[in-house]
Amino acid sequence: MSTGFQNKKSKTKASFAPSVNSFDITSKFQEYFTQVKDPRTERTRWHLLTDIITISILAVIAAAQGWEDIEEYGLNKKEWLQTFLELPFGIPSPDTFRRVFERINPKEFEQCFQVWIQSLVEKLGVEVVAIDGKALKSSYDRKSQLKALHLVSAWSSEHRLVLGQTKVHAKSNEITAIPALLEMLDISSCIITIDAMGTQKSIAEEIIEANADYILSLKDNHPKLHQTVKNWFEIAQSLGFKNVEVNISRRVEKGHHRIENRKVYTVPVSQIPALYEQDDWVGLKTVVMVVRSIQHWNKITNEVQFYISSLASDANKIGSAIRQHWGIENSVHWTLDVTFHEDECRIRSLHSPQNFALLRRIALNALERESSFRRSIRQKSRRAAMNDQYMVSVLAAALCNSSPLLESTCQ
């Protein structure tokens, strides 16, 4: 007979990364953002810029969604914040946070972000870089005739890190933003994956010139090339790829209440008739077909996607890179919208939407790097909001591989 409730060990890991000094960790993290120039006049600088940026980063890690949330976090954590911040006039007001981030040069802020990221990846190494765009749907302003901010981001699925972001100008599109993003990154020896919008000859050329490889999605924005590749694969497949050097990879994955069967076919361009404007695609070596059959609980859906690549015909390698590209949608865009509520955010004045978007990506990277608490990003964020030692552990994990003195804090 049961004797009542009994104590059982929690499945949640109770301990965090080794205890570290808040001042040491936050000071090291602040160093990456000291190059941001203070946009305020001397007489209005009551609060230190480093204090403002640090509080904002910590607050967004703790799920702050606006200036009032950042102030509220600062007020509730003031006693702890005073152990490593100067705070000469206490916690800044929401208007102070807003005015500062409206005027901080986003390029300078992003350059500091790049220095931090480079310190992480220089030892980790990055093989696949996925590039994709995302609109911040609520950042528009009808009165000012301001369109919603559109950003292009680079993502490393293998290390779960946002590597960089750049703004798509209002009168332009991703085609002009992607080269600017590529110039910011060290992509040498990487595989760059881009959706159909970025399938451009000039972008392919830039990637090859940077000593990298590309896998570019092929859709109807290149109708002749797309149709030629599609027709050739249909005929070759119906003949069982007779007399064709085809490489095939098969994979079955189960999850999210569905079963996905995926086949990847790669064929050297030397095996097929000359493609439309083939010589204009610098480095082109392989055409790719991915066939996906997805079994849901009530139906089966089939999808076929085509790609062109500068890689040699290797279905396993190319298929793995394509799979990693989908991570930018699932692990970045979805998380930013669901956990950080990016699409709902109405911050829209001057540079503030772009700078606040970077704060979210800093927070996402920091939370992804922390591994002592194996839960969702949402749960990590909540714990960081409630537990100061865990917040320090998040920052410590974000500094891994950037300083030998902090290696002991990494798990």
Asked whether residue 392 carries a pLDDT value surpassing 80, the answer given is: yes
Phi, psi angles (nearest 5°) of residue 343: -65, -20
Q: Is the per-residue pLDDT at 16 higher than 60?
A: no
Question: What gap in Å lies between CA 216 and CA 199, rounded to an integer?
Answer: 5
Higher pLDDT, 408 or 222: 222
The stretch 104-130 carries a mean pLDDT of 87
- Tally the residues of the chain: 411
Kindly report, residue by residue over 54-112, the tens digit of the pLDDT: 999 999 999 999 999 999 999 999 999 999 999 999 999 999 999 999 999 999 999 99
Question: Which string of DSSP letters, residue by residue, matches 242-262?
Answer: TT---EEEEEEEEETTEEEEE
Q: What is the spatial order of strands in the sheet that 161-168 belongs to?
A: 161-168, 150-156, 128-135, 191-194, 213-218, 300-309, 286-295, 258-268, 247-255
Out of 19-23, 55-59, 386-390, 400-404, least confident range: 400-404
pLDDT at 402: 44
Residues forming a β-bridge with 266: 247, 288
Each residue's pLDDT tens digit, 36-60: 999 999 888 999 999 999 999 999 9
Q: What is the mean pLDDT of residues 10-28?
A: 61
Structure tokens given for 92: 């800044």
Can you give the pLDDT at residue 2?
45
Q: Which pLDDT does position 216 carry in this prediction?
A: 97
Mean pLDDT score, 157-167: 88
Average pLDDT over residues 337-357: 91
3 pLDDT band, cuts 50/70/90, is very low
pLDDT of the residue at 222: 93
pLDDT at 399 over 90: no
pLDDT of residue 259: 86
Is 310:280 a contact under the CB 8 Å cutoff? no
Separation of alpha carbons 393 and 383, rounded Å: 11
Looking at residue 93, the DSSP 8-state letter turns out to be P
Label residue 147 by pLDDT band (50, 70, 90): confident
DSSP structure string for 340-403: S-GGG----STTHHHHHHHHHHHHHHHHHH--SS-S-HHHHHHHHHH-HHHHHHHHHHHTTTT-
What domains can you pick out in the chain, each with its CATH number?
A: 22-105+351-409 (no CATH), 109-335 (3.90.350)
Lowest mean pLDDT among 3-7, 38-42, 119-123: 3-7
Helices and strands (H and E) in the chain: how many: 15, 9
Q: What is the mean pLDDT of residues 176-198?
A: 91
pLDDT tens digit sequence for 225-275: 999 999 999 999 999 999 999 999 999 887 767 788 999 999 999 999 989
Percent of the residues in the chain that have a pLDDT greater than 90, as a whole number: 60
289 against 330, higher pLDDT? 289
Share the mean pLDDT of the chain.
Answer: 87
Structure tokens at 118: 């480079």
Do residues 191 and 321 lie in contact, with contact meaning Cβ atoms separated by under 8 Å?
A: yes
pLDDT of residue 10: 44
pLDDT of residue 15: 45
Q: Which residues pair with 5 in a beta bridge?
A: none
The pLDDT confidence band at residue 170, using thresholds 50, 70 and 90, is low
3-state secondary structure of 114: helix
Task: State what percent of residues in the chain have pLDDT above 70.
Answer: 90
Query: pLDDT at position 135, please?
Result: 85
Cβ(339)–Cβ(377) below 8 Å? yes
Q: Please determine, for residue 384, whether its predicted confidence score (pLDDT) is greater than 60.
A: yes
For residue 29, what pLDDT is reported?
84
Measured distance CA(195)–CA(153) in Å, rounded: 12
